[in-house]
Each structure stands twice: as structure tokens, then as C-alpha cells.
Amino acid sequence: MRHLMIAALMLAGLAAGADAQAGTKDPCVATPDTSAAGGQSSATGGLADPGPCRISTSTKGSKNAKSSNNTKGSSNGKGSGNANDPGNGNGNGNGSGSGNGQGDDSDESKIQQGLAIAPVPLDLQGRNRALVALGSYIVNAQGGCGDCHTWPNWAPNGDPYKGQPKAVNAAHYLAGGRPFGPFVSRNLTPDPASTATEEERYAEFVKAMRTGWDPDQAHAQISSLLQVMPWPAYQDMTDRDLRAIFEYLQAIPHAEPYCTPASTDPVCK
């Protein structure tokens, strides 16, 4: 158990450093059309946009191609003061207040990158496109959520650790089912059977991410808190980043876990 926790913390540590890594990659290589500014204004679907996720004009996008100020993005992620900040929409204020537009640029590049790297089709209907995209960036390039929640991690012949071109296991993407001793990662994909409102589910999600409270109380005899799950690291994310993750998790397709209690495959043991 202990080594799993350590592994989790290491993962979280890696995630924290991922910002710098992103800087080595041209964020505009695979740039989907972002000129659809309407996507932002119309796609709120009754959800308050917790932060100023501006989608700049497409000319902005080309300026971004420089990506030299991508490293600036780390100032966004740091946000140490944000943990105490109850106000929504502050996360992005960090860099942009100066009026130099840096905050926007780093956000913009993360949005581009987030859309480019999502390994599954996204349902953006009724959603804030920029928030979903930012969530994709956090989940896929920083948070490492798939390490534990997508299982097996890779599609056949898509295992980068074997030198193969990376291909995420899209069929079971974030559907959970990875065993960690007595604990099993949860299915993070939308549950069509859920009767809770989206805001109720969001409140539950934030509580789990900030406090580790297990909404399912799946192993109350061991602990009421989530184990293995690196919430002690994620709890320091800004409100806006957590909202972005949540929005992204609503936009991905429902999937079922590969591993079920009946599975005999060794990866399920």
C-alpha cells in the first residue's frame, strides 16, 4: 500500500512539472479551428463560467505559435494564493492583470493543446469550449488522471514505454477499474443513469478533489477518504481548474471499465 501512495505522490510531482514540459511542444501544431468565438458565448448552457476563459481571435493564435511565453504558463499553475481564494474566476487573473496579455496567451495555448490532445471525441453541446479544452489539458497533459483511471492505459501497440507510438486506450478512457490492492480507480465518464443535477455532481466532485471524501463510501470500513487518489496534491488547484476538469469529464463519452469483478485478465488483479 505504502509504495502505491508514494507512486501516487510521484505522479503528482510529475504533474506539477508538466507545465514546463508543455513548453517544449509547439502548442499550435494541430490547431483546430478556434475562430468559433460563438462557441464560448453560446455554450454556457446555464452554467456560470467561473473564469475569464477568453478565446482570442485567430490572429492571436498565430502569435501563439511562437510559444516562447509558454513557460509563462507555469505562473498560472502555481497559484499558491489561490487555494485560499474562494472567488471564482480569479485563477486566470494571475497574469492578465498586468495587461500584457501573457495570461491570455498561456491560456490560449493550453486551450489549443487541450483540444488537440483529447483522445476521444468531445460533446461540446451546451458547454464552454475553452473550459472543456483547458480541462483536457489538465487531465491529459498535467494531472496524469489516465494513469490510474484509464485501464489498461494504452491501446494495442500504443504503449510508449515499449517504444511504440503513444495511443491511449480510448475504448476505456477514464472508465476506471484499475486495481490497487483493495482499492479500484473509479469511472470518471458521464453516467447516463445518474439522477443528480449537474451542480450536485459538481459539488460532490469538488468535495472529493479538495478533501478526499469518498462520495460512494466504497470502503467505509477502511476509510471514508479516497486512497491512492492524489487528492492531497489536486486539492490545491484553483476553483477554475477544478471546474475545467469537471467540464471536460462531462464532455467525454461514457465508457465502461475493461476490468470487472469477473475479469480473469492478470491486469485486472
Shortest distance, CB of residue 38 to ligand HEC, whole angstroms? Answer: 28
Q: Which residues pair with 179 in a beta bridge?
A: 184
Nearer to ligand HEC, 60 or 210 (CB): 210
By the rule CB under 6 A, 259 interacts with ligand HEC = no
User: What radius of gyration, in Å, describes the C-alpha atoms of the chain?
Assistant: 18
Q: For helices 239-251 and 198-211, what crossing angle results, to 10°? A: 130
CA 254/CA 142 separation, integer angstroms: 22
By the rule CB under 6 A, 202 interacts with ligand HEC = no
For residue 22, give the C-alpha cell: 508543455
Residues in 103-142 at the binding interface with ligand HEC, rule: CB under 6 A: 139
Site size toward ligand HEC, by CB under 6 A: 28
Which DSSP symbol is given to 179?
Answer: E
Out of 64, 205, 247, 251, the residue judged to bind ligand HEC by CB under 6 A: 205
Out of 61, 91, 144, 257, the residue judged to bind ligand HEC by CB under 6 A: 144
Q: How many CB atoms lie within 10 A of CB 32?
A: 13
Q: Residue 96 to residues 99, 145, 176, 205, 224: CA-CA distances in angstroms?
A: 5, 28, 37, 28, 40
By the rule CB under 6 A, 247 interacts with ligand HEC = no
By the rule CB under 6 A, 185 interacts with ligand HEC = yes
By the rule CB under 6 A, 208 interacts with ligand HEC = yes
Question: What end-to-end distance do the CA atoms of the chain give, in Å?
Answer: 15
Q: How many CB atoms lie within 10 A of CB 14?
A: 14
**Nearest to 255, CA basis, from 146, 98, 167:** 146
Out of 18, 53, 228, 244, the residue judged to bind ligand HEC by CB under 6 A: 228
By the rule CB under 6 A, 229 interacts with ligand HEC = yes
Residues in 28-47 at the binding interface with ligand HEC, rule: CB under 6 A: none
Shortest distance, CB of residue 173 to ligand HEC, whole angstroms? Answer: 13
**Nearest to 150, CA basis, from 136, 171, 129, 121:** 171
By the rule CB under 6 A, 226 interacts with ligand HEC = yes
Shortest distance, CB of residue 57 to ligand HEC, whole angstroms? Answer: 30
Shortest distance, CB of residue 172 to ligand HEC, whole angstroms? Answer: 15
DSSP SS3 for 182: coil
Q: Which residues bind to ligand HEC, rule: CB under 6 A?
A: 8, 11, 139, 143-145, 147-149, 180, 183, 185-186, 188, 205, 208, 214-216, 218-219, 226-230, 234, 245
